[in-house]
Structures are given as structure tokens and as C-alpha cells.
Amino acid sequence: MSRHVIRPFEEADLPAAAGLLAERHKEHRKRHPLLPADYEDEQLALVEVTALWESESASGAVMTEGLELTGYVLGAPKPSPVWGPNVWVESAGHAVREPEHIRDLYAAAATKWVDDGRTAQYVLVPDDAELIDAWFCLGFGSQHAHAVRPVPDAPLAPHPDLGVRRASRDDIAVLAELDLVLPRHQGQSPVFSSGEMPTLEEALADWEESIDDQDYATFVAEYDGRVIGSAVGCSLEKSSAHSGLARPDNAGFLGFAAVLSEARGRGAGRALGEAVLQWSADTGYTSVVTDWRVTNLLSSRTWPRLGFRQTFHRLHRLIGH
């Protein structure tokens, strides 16, 4: 009878872990072919796992059966105070032959994490029902969605009641106001985000400096002659939240969208999202990525209706509560 052994992750485990990661990513791409094909190559997967292993304070666990490594979990903290006393298992930080075994691996790895005081724990999980369920059974819940869709293959029809155009310097005041709308909304129920809230003065200064930056495409939606919403598109490479296995090749990024609360319900969010999709197609990108808090009821309904399919789930657990 075979016997599984769990022990701490060691540097010598990197090649075998990379092989498991390449297998997982190959299966993941069968459902989401827009994800990058490169990481089906074990050598490129090895680059990702090695980068995690070399992160400050990284640690984890592996499972072996005989001489074969059949699973691993590898996590490391992020320095930002926004995340609390944390540890992150990134997209390349776990792979298993059997989803149920992720529970045993986490149990081994998390002992050190909690002993070190890292009680805010995050994991980025592929869109795999069995694997997600295994993490759910460890007390993790869904917090954030990563999603992708192809660019439109034909021009999108304009909204009948809204005008959408590129922003100009004349829009700086309302753009700054809209910059406060999203964090204010996400600080309320049911999101309750603890993210920092910028001041209007900071937002104005930022737009004065960045409005002419050609790396970003800013759009505004107008209703009855008044700007009621904005959205920003750029290359996905500008986003540090989407990297490695979670970064499709040649992708645009819907990085921000907000609509004034009193103007919601007129389709401005969808119209702005479509403007970024069309800009991405015109720019030559082949897909568009976005992400959202799943407890943000507006975003979690608008973006899937616009054709975005979730590729990764960011799950979260707070120990001791």
C-alpha cells in the first residue's frame, strides 16, 4: 500500500513542483485557452516556483509517495499593511495530483504561518471546482475574481441614451470625484473593504499629472450633457496583480470603472466597459482582463454579463475569528 509523506518544502523540490504546476496549468488552459501557454513548459513553470521560493520568508510543504512528489503548497508574505499580518499562496504556489490533498498540505504549512503570526491568509486558485471546494473546506471564502474575455470581433453598437468619449483635461474635476466613488462604495456593505480612501486633493493632483499619459486610455460616459462615469484601459503588463500564469499574452486591462451613485441603472458601467473592449481591439490586443471583489454586487454582475469568464479565485481566511 502506498503511503503519503508530508514534509517541509525544500529547494531540491523545485523541479518536481514545477512539473506538477505545468500539469495543472495545462488542464486549466483546456477551460481557459486565453491563459498563457508558456507555463505548460516545465522550465518556465520552474521560473515561477523558484521566484516564490526565493521570496522573503517563503515556506511551505510537499507531499511525496515513494520517490514521487505529488503535491506542494508554498506561501510568502507581502509587505503591504493593507493585507494585515499575511501570507499569500500565489497562482504558482500550489499544485496537487488529488485536490483533497491540498487540505493536508495546508495543514502542514499553515502551522508555521500561524506560529509566525500570519493570520490573514490568501490563495489564488484556478477555476477548478474540486480544488476550490478543497480550499473552501479549509475555511477559505471567495474574495476576489480574475477574469478574461476575447476582444470583440466586430464594432460594438453605441448605447442609445449615453455618449462615451475619451476624457480630456476639462474632465479632471469629475474624474477626481469618480476616483473616490469606487473605494467609497467598497467600504460599504457588503464589501466592507479596508482599503485606503484617497482625498479629493490627491485625486486632482494625480489627474493633473497623468491625464496626458498615452499608456492609459480614459473614457467618460455622459448622460444629458453631464459626465456620470469613467473607465480606464491599459496594457495588462501595467497591473502587478496579474502576473505569471494569470497573465494572458497580449492582453488589455479594464483597470478601473466607476459611475456616480445617483446615475446608476442607466447602463453607464456596461457602456464604459464596452469602450475599453473596443479600444483594446483597436489597439491590437487579443483579449481583455479585469478583476473585481465578488462582494461588490455591481461589478460581480456587470462584468460577467459583458462576457468576462473567471479564471482565478482569490480566496481569503482570517485565523482566530
Q: Tens digits of per-residue pLDDT, 96-114? A: 999 999 999 999 999 999 9
In terms of phi and psi (left: phi > 0; alpha: psi -120 to 50; beta: otherwise), the region of 66 is: left
Q: Which grid cell is 61?
A: 510543504
Domain 150-308: CATH superfamily is Gcn5-related N-acetyltransferase (GNAT) (3.40.630.30)
Q: Over pLDDT 90: what percentage of the chain?
A: 91
* CA pair distance 249, 174, nearest whole angstrom: 33
pLDDT of residue 41: 98
pLDDT tens column, 52-68: 999 999 999 999 999 99
pLDDT of residue 42: 98
Average pLDDT for 251-280: 96
| Secondary structure (H, E, C), the chain | CCCEEEEECCHHHHHHHHHHHHHHHHHHHHHCCCCCHHHHCHHHHHHHHHHHHCCCCCEEEEEEECCEEEEEEEEECCCCHHHCCEEEECCCCEEECCCCHHHHHHHHHHHHHHHCCCCEEEEEEECCHHHHHHHHCCCCEEEEEEEEEECCCCCCCCCCCCEEEECCHHHHHHHHHHHHHHHHHHCCCCCCCCCCCCCHHHHHHHHHHHCCCCCEEEEEEEECCEEEEEEEEEEHHHCCCCCHHHCCCCEEEEEEEEECHHHCCCCHHHHHHHHHHHHHHHHCCCEEEEEEECCCHHHHHHHHHCCCEEEEEEEEEECCC
pLDDT of residue 207: 97
User: Does residue 132 carry a pLDDT above 70?
Assistant: yes
pLDDT of residue 2: 57
Q: Over pLDDT 70: what percentage of the chain?
A: 99
User: Strand 309-318 to strand 120-126: parallel, antiparallel, or no bridges (unpaired)?
Assistant: antiparallel
pLDDT tens column, 30-88: 999 999 999 999 999 999 999 999 999 999 999 999 999 999 999 999 987 788 899 99
User: Does residue 1 carry a pLDDT above 80?
Assistant: no
Average pLDDT for 245-267: 96
Average pLDDT for 260-274: 95
What is the topology classification, in CATH, of domain 4-139?
A: Aminopeptidase (3.40.630)
Average pLDDT for 225-241: 96
Domain residue extents for the chain: 4-139, 150-308
Q: Grade residue 159 by pLDDT with cuts at 50, 70 and 90.
A: confident
Report which of 214, 194, 218 is spatially closest to residue 316, judged by C-alpha positions.
194
